[in-house]
Structure 1
Amino acid sequence: MKQNNDPQIKSEDHPSFQKKVFIVTKTLILTLILLLIFEATFRIFLLVLAGSLIAIFFRGFSALIQRKTNWKEWVSVTISVLSTLLIGAGLFWLIGAKVQDQMAQLVQTLPETIENAQARLNNSTIGEIIVDRVSSKSSMDKAQVFAGQFFQSSFGVFGDIYVVLFIGIFFTISPKTYTNGIVQLIPVRGQQKAKDVLDKLGEQLRKWLKGKLFSMFVVFILTAIGLAILGMPLWLVLALLAGLISFIPNFGPILALIPAVLVALLQSPTMAALVVGLYILIQFIESNFITTLVQKKLLNMPPALIIIAQLLMGVLTGGWGLILATPLTVIVIVLVQKLYLKDRQS
């Protein structure tokens, strides 16, 4: 047979260079658009994740009430939600009122305390170097920038709390409606696998949340006992803050230490040093014993991976990223195990 060597037909069989460039450019633009959409909506995903964790807590609490009382599900869920909100409002009022009074006293006495500390530090060579470094213009500018960013991020987080609460309540009332809706978005052949993945995610997040709540409770008890023995004012409020902020691993104890040291400075520099030592001891116990005990019942999450996730999420999304970095790491590990490693081994 005679071969067809027409160049026009060959150009139709193989895309031209211009067409390849157009395809690559279109792919890059589409990828860039998707990345921009992901960056813009990732904060919303974090709020949904926070609401899901609240719903897991509400559901776990209601299940406990139902097991103890044999009441109907809707009654247990209602008691779970209302009692948690009332307790949270009471704690917020207690902490807010006490901290406001203490901050007024702190504003009056802090300048004198700082002057006394500077006078003591100036008596030694190392102390003079520390004072010069801390009081330098560059250090003060960095401190002001950090404080502004910190409080701006904090107020942004508090502004989103009502959204998270409503999402959590809606998820609590009818969780199957939302999980079934997600499954329905998957093709029929993959729906069973999607259910398995969602069940695994829910199981691991429940275990993680139980472990975290237990860790927070232990930190609260140890801090309350230690501060009470030291004779610290506001020991109960400071212990509550330490327990609540310990929800954030690694960086939470540092944030909890700041108000404790400020209150301790009202007493004496020695008291402040004792408080720092107490918090370091509690952090050592929590990290090496409590967290180790909890991790045995969870996925294997390397500590370095959690810190890296916190740094990345904190830079990208601010306060919510720092708070939710650990549960987000749990989700990523479960997805990799269920969707990638399991298929690769089969």
Structure 2
Amino acid sequence: MENKDPLPQINHRFVSRVWIAAGIISFIVVALLLSWKANQVFLYTLAGAIIAIYFHGFAGLIARKTKISPKWSLPLSIILSISFLFGTFFLIGARVTGEVVQFTKEVPSLVEDAKNFIEGNSNIKLIYEKIASSKIVEKASLLLGGFFNSTVGVFGDIYIVLFIGIFFTAAPDQYKTGIVKLLPADMRLQGNNLIEKIVKNLRSWLKGMLFSMFVVFVLTSIGLAILGIDLWLVLALIAGLLSFIPNFGPIISIIPAALVALSKSPSTALWVIVLYCFVQLVESNFITPLVQQELIKTPPALIIISQVFVGIWLGAWGVILATPILVIVMVLVQELYIKKQDQKQSLSK
């Protein structure tokens, strides 16, 4: 009986494994390069998906309350949302525009008043010099600069995001099915369930954030109006919009309000700061727990870490979208790792 040489078969297996390993490494390298160079595409896609989730969530609310079929509730949600935006702009747009123009004109004098106040107070001057020496302002300027110097500009970004959101809204199942089909056949059911879980968490997060932004706007506008602050409407809008960014947004919104109040008196500026701290206290202790009731529990420190990390990687847009990115990562870790480890542990007992 003739003995066959096993060496060619061994070499063939070895070469196959080398090619497989090389292919995997190449795929990882290409994926990392794309994620680094084309990170704007990821942000556009995520922002568009959030817009689509909002429209579908609003459509579901309309369908539940009015018994309208989903065929009509979805376009109705888009029409109502756009009508609300245009109606709001029509009612308060002229007032806000006037206040913004006035605020822009007053910024140089407000900054000068702030400098004079700092120079006249030795303790505050010492704190300011320490902050300036730590280059915090420089780093913040670079971070914000990344936002305004993005690939196609801010308005171009918004234009692209809106169109992506509209396409996602029109045919969400088509895109979800396409993603699921990329998975192996035995993993498609799990992949579909995972996407549904992510969408559910993002919907709950977005619903809570919109409610939180509205509460911050109302409380801030009432407080500023009581204090007799000029430009109270635009300042309250800024506070409401920036509350979309946890931790850093409320801090940024204090700056223009404090500058405007400082033009009246230092005590007024102090009261405005107290007001903003009170609103933030209410939001973080009462609103945020309501937001996270239906979400995977996320430690506050982890949100800050994710904002810093994603902000360094993706710029200011990354800071804005850091929380939904963290929500997605937490769902993936929970479903793909923690639950499987728990199942293995329960089976081993």
With the shorter chain as reference, the TM-score category is 0.7 to 0.9
Is 1:178 the counterpart of 2:175? The answer is yes
Is 1:274 the counterpart of 2:271? The answer is yes
Pair 1:75–1:316, CA change in 2 (3 A): same
Pairwise mapping of residues 117-196 of structure 1 onto structure 2 (< 5 A)?
Answer: 117-126=114-123, 129=126, 148-149=145-146, 151-152=148-149, 156-196=153-193
Moved more, 231-240 or 28-37: 28-37
Pairwise mapping of residues 1-346 of structure 1 onto structure 2 (< 5 A)?
Answer: 13=10, 31-89=28-86, 91=88, 98=95, 101-102=98-99, 104-106=101-103, 109-126=106-123, 129=126, 148-149=145-146, 151-152=148-149, 156-344=153-341, 345-346=343-344
Quote the offset at 1:219 in angstroms.
1.1
Q: What per-residue deviation string (whole Å, max 9, x for no partner) do you get for residues 98-123 of structure 1?
A: 56544554565555555555555545
Partner of 2:347: none
> 1:135 & 1:205 partners in 2: Cα distance?
38
Kindly report the root-mean-square deviation, in angstroms, between the aligned alpha carbons of the 2 structures.
3.7
Structure 2, unmatched stretches of 5+, are 345-349
Quote the offset at 1:178 in angstroms.
1.5
> 1:141 & 1:340 partners in 2: Cα distance?
40
> 1:309 & 1:139 partners in 2: Cα distance?
18
Match of 1:33, as an amino acid?
Answer: V
Quote the offset at 1:218 in angstroms.
1.4
Moved more, 188-197 or 64-73: 64-73
> 1:194 & 1:153 partners in 2: Cα distance?
33
Q: What per-residue deviation string (whole Å, max 9, x for no partner) do you get for residues 121-150 of structure 1?
A: 5455435546766899x8997787666456
Q: What per-residue deviation string (whole Å, max 9, x for no partner) do you get for residues 297-337 of structure 1?
A: 21111111111111111111112211111111111111122
> 1:299 & 1:139 partners in 2: Cα distance?
32
Q: Secondary structure at the match of 1:186?
A: coil
Pair 1:245–1:89, CA change in 2 (3 A): farther
Match of 1:221, as an amino acid?
Answer: V
> 1:33 & 1:204 partners in 2: Cα distance?
30
Does structure 1 conserve the Cα–Cα contact (< 8 Å) formed by 2:111 and 2:259?
no
Q: Give the % identical residues.
A: 47
Quote the offset at 1:173 in angstroms.
1.6
What is the number of equivalent residue pairs in this alignment? 341
Does structure 2 conserve the Cα–Cα contact (< 8 Å) formed by 1:59 and 1:172?
yes
Q: Secondary structure at the match of 1:282?
A: helix
Does structure 2 conserve the Cα–Cα contact (< 8 Å) formed by 1:66 and 1:76?
yes
Does structure 1 conserve the Cα–Cα contact (< 8 Å) formed by 2:258 and 2:273?
yes
Quote the offset at 1:266 in angstroms.
3.5
Match of 2:275, as an amino acid?
Answer: L
Quote the offset at 1:214 in angstroms.
1.6
Does structure 1 conserve the Cα–Cα contact (< 8 Å) formed by 2:110 and 2:260?
no
Which structure has the larger Rg over C-alpha atoms?
A: 1
Q: Secondary structure at the match of 1:232?
A: coil
Pair 1:38–1:109, CA change in 2 (3 A): closer
Moved more, 218-227 or 266-275: 266-275
Moved more, 311-320 or 69-78: 69-78
Pair 1:128–1:310, CA change in 2 (3 A): closer
Pair 1:47–1:108, CA change in 2 (3 A): closer
Match of 1:61, as an amino acid?
Answer: F
> 1:314 & 1:176 partners in 2: Cα distance?
31
Give the structure-2-normalised TM-score: 0.81
Structure 1, unmatched stretches of 5+, are none
> 2:177 & 2:280 partners in 1: Cα distance?
41
